[in-house]
Amino acid sequence: MPEQALFVLSIFTVSQLALSIAYGMLFHWDKLWAKFFVLMLGGAVYFLLRPWLEFSQGFRVIYYALEALAITIPGLWWFFTISVFHVTTRIRPWQYSIVVFYSVIAMIGVVISHEFPGTLEQFSSGMQHFCFYLIPQVIKLSLFLHSLFIVVIYWQDDLAEQRRRMRVYYTIAVSLLGLLIILSEIWVQGQISGFIQLLTVLIILFISFSGNIAAIYGKPFFFEDPVNRSDHKQSRSTTLGNDLMPEWITSVMRQERIYREHGLTINSLANKLSVPAYLLRRCINLKLGYNNFNQFLNEYRVQDAANQLVDAECNHPILTIALETGFKSLSSFNLAFKEKYGMTPSAFRNKNPVKP
């Protein structure tokens, strides 16, 4: 494709990304994933226009800022995937540290290559190339691979039927595109071929354009809001999921404490209840008001743990309570508990009187 045609196509793609950025900022900025989403798209805008941009010496700071934003795209995508599929309200410090680490060393390489051109040959073939280029690229590859892993492991936990498959398709497409770009950069040492550049523009254009159309027509996509649990009674008039009674599911969960089982999935719970998985999803989502299966389980797990923490007869350590109620680790328990009560389990135990 002629360079002029590729430029026009890139400009149109950027216009679609701009609409997605505006939509995310105007309607979803209060959500964690939206912040990563907007920053990531901003980096994608620069990435698409970079072949045609030139910065004079006086604008070198702007250049470095945009380069840093483009470098962090894999990390931002990783954060976005975690926040979308894990439904977490924050990214953990060690996860931020990984992205900061590879971004800093990659930017050191960028600065060296531009500010000290005399060392360019050493940078391309010596230890500097390994430290400031290959290591960040390997980390970025790992983040895209882990994003794919997250999709495979957690996609069925999304209880919103209409958006679940759409999220999977788009997330896999972006992750595979990221892997292709990183591998191409490693293979040719930073220079992307014309074919890869065209493919990148076309895939980003398709994703952004279809996402904007879905948003305009109110179709579920990454932008769909979680179900408001305070309004779940209104959803009982819907025809979806009427085959299941939410009161029965709630009763079974509380009496049999199925939520304590480690590795419990929506399919295994459906088997235990002898109901189709798709009907169970609809009931939990539309009638009980949960948008994610882990949210549904954690509600029971955290409440169970809170009862034990104020029980005079329960002297178990917090770690024992966490594992007993179904959490895989103390850190995941602390996070879920703090999201519900605004304090750690130990602070909750110290603050609340013990029930005889």
Q: What is the pLDDT of residues 338-349, one digit of tens each?
A: 888 989 999 998
Whether the predicted pLDDT of 223 surpasses 60: no
> pLDDT band at residue 105, thresholds of 50, 70 and 90?
very high
Average pLDDT taken over every residue of the chain: 83
Q: Which residue has the tokens 């800022």?
A: 65
User: Which letter does DSSP use for residue 192 in this model?
Assistant: P
- The hierarchical CATH code for the domain 230-351 is 1.10.10.60
- Beta bridge partners of residue 158, listed in sequence order: 292
pLDDT at 168 over 60: yes
Give the CA count within 13 Å in the CB-facing half-sphere of 321. 22
* Contact status, residue 137 vs residue 190, Cβ threshold 8 Å: no
pLDDT, tens digit (0-9, with 9 covering 90-100), for 2-27:
788 899 999 999 999 999 999 889 88
The per-residue b/e assignment along 98-113, b for 16 or more CB within 10 angstroms, e otherwise, is: ebeebbebbbebbebb
- Amino acid 84 reads V
Predicted confidence at residue 349, as pLDDT, reads 87
d(CA 134, CA 127): 10
Cα separations in angstroms, 139 against 98, 100, 145, 148: 8, 11, 10, 14
Task: Give which of 51, 60, 188 is closest to 114, Cα–Cα.
Answer: 60
Tell me which residue has tokens 């798209």.
41
pTM reported for the whole predicted model: 0.77
Three-state SS at 355? strand
User: pLDDT tens, 47-96?
Assistant: 999 988 887 767 888 999 999 999 999 999 999 988 887 756 678 899 99
- Domain spans in the chain, listed from the N-terminal domain onward: 3-216, 230-351
> What is the average pLDDT across 154-167?
74
Answer whether residue 97 shows pLDDT above 60. yes
